[in-house]
Amino acid sequence: MTGVHRNLARLGLGVAMTMGALSAVPAFAQDEGPIKVGILHSLSGTMAISETTLRDVMLMLIEQQNAKGGILGRQIEPVVVDTASDWPLAAELARRLIEVDEVDAVFGCWTSVCRKSVLPVFEELNSLLFYPVQYEGEESQRNVFYTGASPNQQAIPAVDYLMDEEGVERWVLAGTDYVYPQTTNLILEQYLLDAGIAQEDILINYTPFGHSDWQTIVSDIVAFGSEGKKTAVVSTINGDANVPFYRELANQGVAAEDIPVVAFSVGEEELSGFDTTPLVGHLAAWNYFMSVDTPENAEFIEAWQSFIGSTDRVTNDPMEAHYIGFNMWVAAVEAAGTTDPDAVIDAIVGVEVPNLTGGVATMLPNHHITKPVLIGEIQDDGQFFVVWETEDLVPGDAWSDFLPESAVLEADWTAPINCGNYNTQTQTCGGSTVTP
């Protein structure tokens, strides 16, 4: 046995696939034996193309921490489940992880519909979820730590880049038909209108998960971009639908210099699955790229490829988010001296850990983190050349400044506010609170 299979065996994983009767008693932090960590990702279905790697990197991080002695003198035991790109199943498995397997924290989900499906479980059972993927914002839950980008850390800077550097005047907002693209595009549409873009210069399109027939949609994009104004596609297409989408762009001769595509859910892992030569010059906005030249990143890549048993395997942004989130959780547990969720929630705000781009990620009171923003251009080897980046780290916003109903809200899970959607005008909390 070599590579990841050897590591899976060495870690002695039990992959929970059978749903049985679930206990009604919430899990409590244990003081003896291993510290259990849940890994809640899709290993099959349309999202497996993106999420399997996140399972693997969590196993690597746990193995590395165990080699350092674990946490609080105890080893960490991963408990892996396959959500199978099935959001109701994700909620059932989250409950199983907490109630039956008695995990102390969970790292998982990719899509926002997955996250929103499991949120009530984490709130009810007072457990911890570390969510590693860019999302639409408009949320801050006490039991969730958002280590991926919010719109002001990805979508808004990407649009600014296309406006300022590429002179884009017409906009195609193309997304998968679920909450993340819909809400992100709602924010972007308002942002564009506020910037003076006419409504007729904005085209919005949604397709189902796993959509494969892109001929008509790409033809519409080509027609929309043929009216004399510089046009770009802002893509919130998720999962394996990206492969036929980019293939159809190439089939219809859509070159980056004509109609650039900037993607928020396409990274190195997705590009490793097909020939990227026709896509050279198209863009992605992330907070990390494998091509970033820092000592921290070089060490991470070497460790990852050694763990996985292949120098061909790539790294990507959500992997870095798990790296940051896991290290923040470890630091908070060690600071609190316990895995108790309430103690960890109190201890984690203000925790700082290195990111892989040479900076430091800080956990903010709104349970989001600080990040750089990078725009990368696809190269013919499936990597990204960074063409633009922010000068400073950008703090993640839970609530968009560009939607009137959320511009007055702020999230702060520290005393005296202790609220995920605090109205700064009425000075009242509109959601769940904890008593200071």
Domains 3-150+294-370 and 152-292+375-395 share a fold: yes
* 434 and 367 Cβ atoms separated by less than 8 Å: no
Q: What's residue 274's pLDDT?
A: 72
Structure tokens at 13: 């994983």
DSSP lists the bridge partners of residue 369 as 363
Position 31 scores a pLDDT of 64
The domain 3-150+294-370 belongs to what CATH superfamily?
Response regulator (3.40.50.2300)
- With 0-12 / 13-18 / 19 or more C-beta atoms within 10 angstroms meaning exposed / middle / buried, residue 257 is exposed
CA torsion angle 378 379 382 385 (round to 10): -70
Asked if residue 349 has pLDDT above 80, the reply is yes
Whether the per-residue pLDDT at 22 is higher than 60: the answer is: no
The arrangement of secondary structure in 152-292+375-395, i.e. its CATH architecture, is 3-Layer(aba) Sandwich (3.40)
Q: What band does 271 get if pLDDT is binned at 50, 70 and 90?
A: confident
> Residue 196 has which token pair?
């003076």
What is the SS3 assignment for 332? helix
Mean pLDDT of the chain: 91
Q: What is the mean pLDDT of residues 300-318?
A: 97
In the predicted model, is pLDDT for residue 173 greater than 70? yes
In this structure, are residues 340 and 35 in contact, taking their beta carbons and an 8 Å threshold? no
Average of pLDDT values for 173-196? 96
**What are the pLDDT digits (tens) for 125-169?**
999 999 999 999 999 999 999 999 999 999 999 999 999 999 999
Contact 324, 355 (CB under 8 A): yes
Tokens 């497996």 sit on residue: 48
Please tell me the predicted confidence (pLDDT) of residue 18: 33
What token pair was written down for 153?
A: 């850390």
- Over 60: is that where the pLDDT of 229 sits? yes
Nearest of 286, 269, 309 to residue 41 by alpha carbon: 269
Minimum mean pLDDT among 101-105, 248-252, 277-281, 336-340: which range?
277-281
- Does position 4 have pLDDT exceeding 50, yes or no? no
Write out pLDDT tens, residues 199-208: 999 999 999 9
What is the per-residue DSSP string for 84-110?
TT-HHHHHHHHHHHHHTS--SEEEE--
Per-residue pLDDT band at 270 (split at 50, 70, 90): confident
Please state the φ and ψ torsions of residue 238, each to the nearest 5 degrees: -115, 155
Contact 353, 360 (CB under 8 A): yes
Provide the pLDDT confidence category of residue 269 given band limits of 50, 70 and 90. Answer: confident
Whether residue 43 is predicted with pLDDT greater than 80 in this model: the reply is yes
* pLDDT band with cut points at 50, 70 and 90 for residue 431: low
Query: What are the structure tokens assigned to 8, written together?
Result: 């899976």
Q: Using an 8 Å Cβ cutoff, are 344 and 125 in contact?
A: no
Q: What percent of the chain has pLDDT above 90?
A: 84
AA letter at 383: Q
User: Is the predicted pLDDT of residue 79 greater than 60, yes or no?
Assistant: yes
pLDDT at 11: 44
Question: What are the structural domain ranges in the chain?
Answer: 3-150+294-370, 152-292+375-395, 405-436
Which of 76-85, 143-152, 278-287, 408-417 is predicted least confidently? Answer: 278-287
In this structure, what token pair is assigned to residue 367? 């349970």
Q: What is the pLDDT of residue 279?
A: 83
Is 315's pLDDT higher than 80? Answer: yes
Q: What's the pLDDT tens digit per position in 189-228?
A: 999 999 999 999 999 999 999 999 999 999 999 999 999 9
Q: Sheet harboring 129-131: ordered strands across?
A: 15-16, 76-82, 35-41, 105-108, 129-131, 144-146
Global pTM?
Answer: 0.88
Q: What is the mean pLDDT of residues 412-417?
A: 96
pLDDT tens-digit profile of 355-372?
A: 999 999 999 999 999 999
pLDDT band for position 83 (cuts 50, 70, 90): very high
